[in-house]
Amino acid sequence: MKSLPVLGSSFRQLTTQQDKVTDTHREEPERITASQHHQSWLLLITLTLLADRCPSVFKEAVDMSKFPVDRIRNFCIIAHIDHGKSTLADRLLEMTGAIAKTEKNRQVLDKLQVERERGITVKAQTASLFYTHAGQQYLLNLIDTPGHVDFSYEVSRSLSACQGALLIVDANQVLNARIVINLLLFFVPPPLQGHSVIPCVILPIDLKNADPERVESQIETVFDIPSEECIRISAKLGTNVEKVLQAVVDRIPPPVGSISDPFKALVFDSNFDHYRGVVANIAVIGGRVNKGDKIVSAHLNKTYEVNELGLLRPDEQPTQKLFAGQVGYLIAGMKDVKEAQIGDTLYLQEQPVEALPGFKPAKAMVFAGMYPMDQSEYPALRSAIERLTLNDSSVTVQKDSSLALGAGWRLGFLGLLHMEVFNQRLEQEYNASVIVTAPTVPYKAVLSSAKLIKHGREEITIVNPAQFPDKSLVSEYLEPMVVGTILSPDTYTGKIMSLCLSRRAVQKNMVYIDEQRVMMKYLFPLNEIVVDFYDLLKSLSSGYASFDYENAGYQAADLIKMDFLLNGRPVEELTTIVHRASAYSTGKAMCERLKESIPRQLFEIAIQAAIGSKVIARETIKPFRKNVLAKCYGGDITRKMKLLKKQAEGKKKMRRIGNVDVPKDAFINVLKRKEK
């Protein structure tokens, strides 16, 4: 039998040859007989099936011992959304030979369907690159991270496997808030690694409106990074991308660790495969691990056997070993999603080590109820949520139930976009159809009743508005606050300030970062910005303003619970918590939007907003009516009145026994505001 590299090389040669045969057959069919064409296809199909069954046979083996720690560089690409991270990653993959150079290489690392449809990165992806510099071959482990604030937990976890980052700044856009927040993250050393080095990359320089000099001066002013360190590139055209690879080798330090140390690895990401179980992405902190080794999970103290190791290039490429400083994937027969804990430490059974500190759990900022369309789908939806939360560990899950929707869950997300993407991935990847209730934020209540207080003071967290305690039991309510950073051209300052004041924001400071751009900081109640603030900010500023926020604790507020009734029946899923000062305007606006969202019925529907037993707003959806007077061409008026009275009695009875179905999208649509 041929050696593995020879078989792999033969397979690639046969594939290339078959492509040529196909092209020739298409352009000049007379040159190739049907028999030759069919024989070529039959042999290729046979080898393809063998490659699927025995992938390691057809992939050239990589000797990972060739890459000592000093020739490894681990880095990630970070930037705001739509600044070209994935495009730069495509060029880096092409230049290092990880993927072939074709016009179809667009967002290669964006593997999810939701990423392709929305044009954004929502999941960090890893790729290992082989790069030769100054006569030495280096192993570069690249992580392409998301840019939206709702996926910042992906960025923070990716940093644990990196020693540096490429900071991407768009030369056509204002220096935005996401970059400010990201850089604050990078100045804090990642766990167990040295201080991060940040080569700044400015792109795209090939467009007419690009102004790299201005962006360089902003970076120097805001971050105190010399403008000489900035690399001007065009990721689309590949201009100066080679300098990026050289800067990664020269300016990012190698990982800290040694092959002689006991094996220790950090699980920084994972996903679930239906056939192989949990696939864990690991960063080897020290030592080595071989295929067949017995390893132990520090979290559960369970022992596993390593079934497969490898690199991501960006597709999986199995290897026999992984060494200190390297990043790859590991499969060890973990069949239960609870066995793969993000932030877990893996070590050899015969060499116990101290567990790594892991990651701080993500703080959920938005909560929403999630229920199956039919209760018979509950087990399948539970399995889908468990597997998806393995891949997205920033989502918190707790069981919940509703009188109207049955058993379900109360899920916590980092933002509204995070919630929408999670729901979309459930539908696309697991074919699950769910009902998502209106998003809320976590409030707190300080209890005052002597029967409820055990230790002098007791706070409870409220994630479901239906569980909001009565004022008689509470001394004060607390609402979550955030510090929001807005960067915008000064032309739109007045409109932005008006928008912020309408959301109960308190201005902290305002500074000009250059002659035309201003940075404003506001203290916001989280509930005021979580649904539609970002969209309105973009509309007011013609898309130029950017917004980001960070947690600022809790603050006392005058909060009340508002119920919504349809024909006198409360709809628990629409219950919301509002500030007393804005209760009337909020209730009236939500009743109006409910009137637009709920379809007309054969009976009248009364929509009411109530605080306790007091109704503060009402809208009425008129019923469909048959013209019962159409057959009356005259005669006594009493005949017409009799027909109208009979119809009214029928409508009244129908209203009493009829049910009102609220559409799925109404739960979110009713919260969105229309600023005047």
The annotation places the binding site for GTP at 79-86, 144-148
Give whole-number Cα distances, 284 to 112, 263, 310, 324, 575, in Å.
26, 8, 12, 5, 48
What are 227's two structure tokens? 């403008």
d(CA 336, CA 272): 9
Nearest alpha-carbon partner for 563 in 555, 553, 571 = 571
DSSP 217-274: HHHHHHH---GGG-EE-BTTTTBTHHHHHHHHHHHSPPPS--TTSPPEEEEEEEEEET
Burial call 644-667: b when 16+ CB within 10 Å, e when fewer: eeeeeeebeeebeeeebebeeebb
Distance in angstroms (rounded) separating the CA atoms of residues 520 and 355? 42
Encoded tokens for 141: 């482990």
HEC-encoded secondary structure of 545-603: CEEEEEEEEEEEECEEEEEEEECCEECHHHCEEEEHHHHHHHHHHHHHHHHHHCCCCCC
Quick one: which of 660, 505, 525 has its CA closest to 598? 660
What number of other Cβ atoms are within 10 A of residue 149's Cβ? Answer: 24
Residues forming the annotated binding site? 79-86, 144-148
Three-state DSSP class for 306?
coil
Length of the chain: 676
Work out the number of other CB atoms within 10 angstroms of the CB of residue 355: 16
Report residue 506: phi and psi, to 5°.
-120, 120
Q: Are strands 164-170 and 200-203 parallel, antiparallel or unpaired?
A: parallel
**484 three-class SS:** strand
How is residue 545 written in tokens?
């303003």
Decide: helix, strand or coil at residue 13.
helix
Q: ω before 204 within 30° of 0 (cis)?
A: yes
Q: What does each C-alpha distance from 330 to 102, 174, 304, 319, 333 come to in angstroms?
A: 30, 41, 11, 10, 10
Question: Quick one: DSSP state of residue 59?
Answer: S
